[in-house]
Amino acid sequence: MGFGRRDVSSQGKRSPHFFKVFFPGINSEQMEVPPAFLKHIEGHPSTCSLMGPSGNVWAVEPVRNQAGRLFFVGGWKEFVGDHAMETGEFLVFVYEGGPRFRVLIFDTTACEKESAFCAFPSSSTKRARVVAPVKRSESEVEEEEEDEEEDDDEVEDSGESGEESPPPAARRMRQKRDGDWPEKRKRGPPRGRPRGRPRLLGNKIMKSRKKRSRGRLVSQRRPVTEEEIERAHRAANAFTSDYPFQVLIMRKSVVYIGHSMPLPHTFSKCHLPKVTQKMTLSDCKGNAWEVTYLPLNGTYILSAGWRKFCIDNHLEQDDACVFELIKKDEIRVHIFRVVEEVTPFMRKVVKTKGRNNGMIISQ
């Protein structure tokens, strides 16, 4: 691994590191920065940014106690939960200057934790995803920006906590690949472009040119238990095949909100195509869905078509899916549900200031 290598002949500034071994009883709610490391931290930041292996960023609150010891408190619990940290896993914090850290995560095999490359923030904190520019048609760009703005409106107007109304997986920030940090991009379409949302006029809802109603999906599934989640995950992990396969746990951001699915780096690099192309997701009954596969500067994504696959298959949070590569352009998806009984989604369109009425539309 190259993250700890130092060039002693170079006079360039190095990035100080420290590590932590994760133990739930000690590190779940807060994490202490080693006292000897504090000399490297510049100033007294009120918020620190932790960029995980996925390229997404979590905001945490650094708090000092009376003895001067520094802890990551607010936001740390979300970072732990979103990365599904387990006992004995190893975190390396690379200090990038200012309030910024890059975090490397290793599991108990001493290798990088694959699922960490797919982690998304579940809180209302604005997040970034490492996505390189892709040339798209004007209509595709317009649709994406509409999705982003509507989901932003949901977070702003719902009045709910971040956990209940997480931001969309499709929201993007620009990010350079050489360790630079995300810079927020401008929201919304250019002036004068139709937003594609219903407009309220008297007692009638007037539709603009786009007839689709955007919004996030709302699960109607009954409450589940930890035992049910564990059962589904154990069943998925017991899967075997002569073909390459990868177990992925479905998160809120990829089944209820987003329109894309990030894939683990190592699996994708070893087994999936090197170029953008159409691929097929199939089930054991022979049903098939076309998706767009995008390999983008080390990030691997299933894009157009993923949303329809989720809806048609009633994928829910914490369901486990085995992605089995049975052909070079076909992935068979085996679904291990937390709750076997499926319930239709509802689509939530939240009232926004001066725009459309809030509606719940059945799927």
- For 330-343, letters b (16+ CB in 10 Å) and e give ebbbbbbbbbeeee
Query: Cα–Cα distance between 107 and 20 in angstroms, integer?
Result: 12
In degrees to the nearest 10, what's the CA dihedral of 304, 309, 311, 312?
A: 140
Query: Cα–Cα distance between 119 and 261 in angstroms, integer?
Result: 11
* φ/ψ of residue 229, rounded to 5: -65, -45
pLDDT in tens, the chain (363 residues): 444 444 434 345 678 999 999 998 888 889 999 999 998 887 788 889 999 988 888 999 999 888 889 999 989 998 998 888 988 999 999 998 888 899 999 988 888 888 888 777 775 433 333 333 333 333 333 333 444 444 443 333 333 333 333 333 333 333 333 333 444 444 444 444 444 444 443 433 334 344 343 467 888 888 888 999 999 999 999 999 999 999 999 988 888 877 888 888 888 888 998 899 999 999 988 899 999 998 877 788 898 899 899 989 999 989 999 999 999 999 999 999 998 888 887 776 544 444 444 444 434
* Whole-number CA gyration radius for the chain: 22
Residue 207 has a pLDDT of 40
Return the number of other C-beta atoms located less than 10 Å from residue 105's C-beta. 22
Q: Which amino acid is at 334?
A: H
Collapse the DSSP code of 102 into the 3-class scheme (helix H, G, I; strand E, B; otherwise coil) and give the result: strand
* φ/ψ of residue 341, rounded to 5: -70, 125
- For 277-309, letters b (16+ CB in 10 Å) and e give eebbbbeeeeeebebbbbbeeebbbbbbbbbeb
Q: Cα angle at 243 between 237 and 247, to 5 degrees?
A: 30
Residue 118 has a pLDDT of 75
Residue 208 has a pLDDT of 37
Task: Pull the structure tokens for residue 251.
Answer: 């998160």
Residue 166 has a pLDDT of 37
Residue 282 has a pLDDT of 94
Residue 13 has a pLDDT of 63
Which domains does the chain possess? 17-118 (2.40.330.10), 138-214 (no CATH), 226-336 (2.40.330.10)
Query: Cα–Cα distance between 339 and 231 in angstroms, integer?
Result: 10
Q: Which amino acid is at 92?
A: V
Q: What is the pTM of this model?
A: 0.43
Residue 289 has a pLDDT of 95
